[in-house]
Amino acid sequence: MSGYIANIEDKTAENEYFREVLFTAPHSQLVVMSIAPGEDIGEEVHDLVDQFLRIESGEGKAILDGEETSLSDGYCVVVPAGTRHNIINTGSSALKLYTIYSPANHPDGTIHKTKAEALADEDDHV
């Protein structure tokens, strides 16, 4: 099948991995994430990649170029290329979200069960 069709709310809610790439297209990529309480994605800058994130459940905060905003279910964050950013779980349960990178940011099929596994993956970015 060309493309990808799924109930993204269910996929996001059911995900237990720090990061799982669900689908990679020629110009974008769909990824689900589960950020443990007190954990963060890790401050980063994507020089050539725009990123859209949507919070499905949990509580957290986004930091974009030093500016903090609280996040909860239904919030979205758009991170233009070149923006220093981080997403931090400030709640007591997993922060569940999905993100769309444009263009793709991780090798197709990437699964990182934990943040430590993601940090150890030297071939993580395309």
Mean pLDDT of the chain: 95
Strand residues in the chain grouped as ranges (E): 19-24, 29-35, 50-57, 60-64, 67-71, 76-79, 85-89, 95-102, 111-112
Full residue range of the structural domain in which residue 85 is found: 8-120
Beta carbons of 92 and 73 less than 8 angstroms apart: no
Domain count, the chain: 1
State pTM to two decimals: 0.91
Is residue 51 in some structural domain?
yes
pLDDT at 5 over 90: yes
Confidence of residue 119 (pLDDT cuts 50, 70, 90): confident
Q: How far apart are CA 108 and CA 9, in angstroms?
A: 21
Q: Would residue 1 count as lying in a domain?
A: no
Q: Is residue 2 part of a domain?
A: no
Instruction: Look at residue 126 and tell me if it is in a domain.
Output: no
Instruction: Evaluate whether residue 125 is within a structural domain.
Output: no
- pLDDT tens-digit readout, 57-114: 999 999 999 999 999 999 999 999 999 999 999 999 999 999 999 999 988 889 999 8
- Please report, for the domain that includes residue 99, its CATH number: 2.60.120.10
Per the domain annotation, does 90 fall within a domain? yes
